[in-house]
Amino acid sequence: MNAPLQKIEIVLAAPRGFCAGVDRAIQIVERAIAKYGAPVYVRHEIVHNRFVVDSLAAKGAVFVDELDQVPPGVPVVFSAHGVPKSVPLAAQARELFYLDATCPLVSKVHREAERHHREGHHILLIGHAGHPEVIGTMGQLPDGAVTLVETVADVAALPDMTGRKLAFITQTTLSVDDTAEIIAALQARFPSIEAPRKEDICYATTNRQAAVKAIAAECDALLVIGAPNSSNSLRLVEVGKRLGCTTALLVQRAADIDWNKLEHCRSVGITAGASAPEVLVEEVIDAFRQRFEVSLREVTTATEAVQFKLPAALDQPSAKAG
């Protein structure tokens, strides 16, 4: 007779998973394939999730690092993270037909940066060096117009900017708490610095972090489903640890779970980064059910109903890409 399975409670954080910007970007690729036929090229990962990328590749998307890998006469899609202005200019120079899947909330930060620059401000961008969104945002303006700030220590190390008009903007996928500390340091050092008219950290990032805060303290472990290059997913792990859940782990798929770290757990929180589909959450829950007697509970801290329009070109009758 088989021994009874150990009981475990899974506490699901809500909201979790896809945000409106990610959903829009994936739809753009799928609709482009349906309208123009395969292949449709995509510059960089459309979103930071290998499952999503592989699924789109199976439908006819071809992912490339740079535009020089895109042959003439086929559509190309720019990723949800945004691109420097040099990218669409290069596409136009080659007469490539392109669709821009940049999240509208990232585009808002781009326009904000342009406004500050027009008004004569030097811009301090709070973000992570090398992240595609940061590269895209800094690439909206001439070299030297934006200074990247990653930490409170970076604020202290900034040169004297007395007499200069300053403004700050932020990457959309940062830790709400860490960013608040950096903003406070900027405002303490530069009291006249201009803040965004509206919070730059996107609603989905904020909501997913709030949901983790609501469950982390009551869970023995937290699993964040997301990619290692996904900024918002990494921030969810950090938030869980900060709230006292020391076993906070990032996993891409159920196969990545280190079950040894969960063997003494009675409750496990599960969330998913903004680019991780719900099917991966279900896959992880199924993996738990193979090993434990599972009870499920969902904790909802917000309800999301945001939707973004698709590019008009996808609704136009022409079936020709270029």
The residue from 189, 211, 228 where one domain ends is 189
The verdict on residue 281 lying in a domain is yes
The verdict on residue 120 lying in a domain is yes
Lowest average pLDDT, out of 42-51, 75-84, 104-113, 196-205, goes to 196-205
Do 240 and 181 reside in the same domain of the chain?
A: no
Each residue of 156-183: pLDDT tens digit? 999 999 999 999 999 999 999 999 999 9
Distance CA 175, CA 173 (A): 7
Do 88 and 140 reside in the same domain of the chain?
A: no
The verdict on residue 321 lying in a domain is no
Residue 136: its pLDDT value, please? 98
For residue 158, give the CATH number of its domain.
Answer: 3.40.1010.20
The verdict on residue 294 lying in a domain is yes
Do 267 and 218 reside in the same domain of the chain?
A: yes
Residue 197: its pLDDT value, please? 86
Confidence band (pLDDT; 50, 70, 90) for 322?
very low
Each residue of 58-69: pLDDT tens digit? 999 999 999 999
The verdict on residue 34 lying in a domain is yes
Residue 3 has pLDDT above 80, yes or no: no
Distance CA 177, CA 187 (A): 15
Do 125 and 166 reside in the same domain of the chain?
A: yes
Confidence band (pLDDT; 50, 70, 90) for 315?
confident
What Å distances lie between residue 105 and 20, 34, 116, 173, 200, CA to CA?
Answer: 10, 26, 17, 10, 8
Expressed as residue numbers, the domain containing 89 is: 20-103
Each residue of 22-41: pLDDT tens digit? 999 999 999 999 999 999 99
The verdict on residue 53 lying in a domain is yes
Distance CA 125, CA 131 (A): 12
- Helix, strand, coil percentages in the chain from 3-state DSSP, rounded to 5: 40, 20, 40
Residue 320 has pLDDT above 80, yes or no: no
Each residue of 291-311: pLDDT tens digit? 999 999 999 999 999 999 999
Residue 4: its pLDDT value, please? 84
Give the catalytic positions in this structure.
Answer: 133
Reported as type and span, the H/E element at residue 268 is: strand 267-272
For residue 57, give the CATH number of its domain.
Answer: 3.40.50.11270
State the total domains in the chain.
3
Q: Which amino acid is at 279?
A: V
DSSP labels, 167-182: EEEE-TTS-HHHHHHH
The verdict on residue 311 lying in a domain is no
Strand order in the sheet with 221-225: 248-251, 221-225, 267-272, 7-14, 293-300
Residue 72 has pLDDT above 50, yes or no: yes
Do 83 and 129 reside in the same domain of the chain?
A: no
Do 81 and 135 reside in the same domain of the chain?
A: no
The mean per-residue pLDDT over the stretch 210-223 comes to 97
Q: Within 13 Å of residue 212, how many CA atoms lie on the same side as its CB?
A: 36
Do 149 and 74 reside in the same domain of the chain?
A: no
The verdict on residue 244 lying in a domain is yes
Do 180 and 222 reside in the same domain of the chain?
A: no
Do 209 and 296 reside in the same domain of the chain?
A: yes
The residue from 154, 189, 224 where one domain ends is 189
Do 35 and 78 reside in the same domain of the chain?
A: yes
Do 99 and 109 reside in the same domain of the chain?
A: no
Residue 249: its pLDDT value, please? 98
Each residue of 223-251: pLDDT tens digit? 999 999 999 999 999 999 999 999 999 99
Do 120 and 177 reside in the same domain of the chain?
A: yes
The residue from 78, 103, 128 where one domain ends is 103
Residue 205 has pLDDT above 90, yes or no: yes
Each residue of 115-160: pLDDT tens digit? 999 999 999 999 999 999 999 999 999 999 999 999 999 999 999 9
Q: What Rg do the C-alpha atoms of the chain give, in angstroms?
A: 21
Handedness of CA 39, 43, 47, 52 (dihedral sign): positive
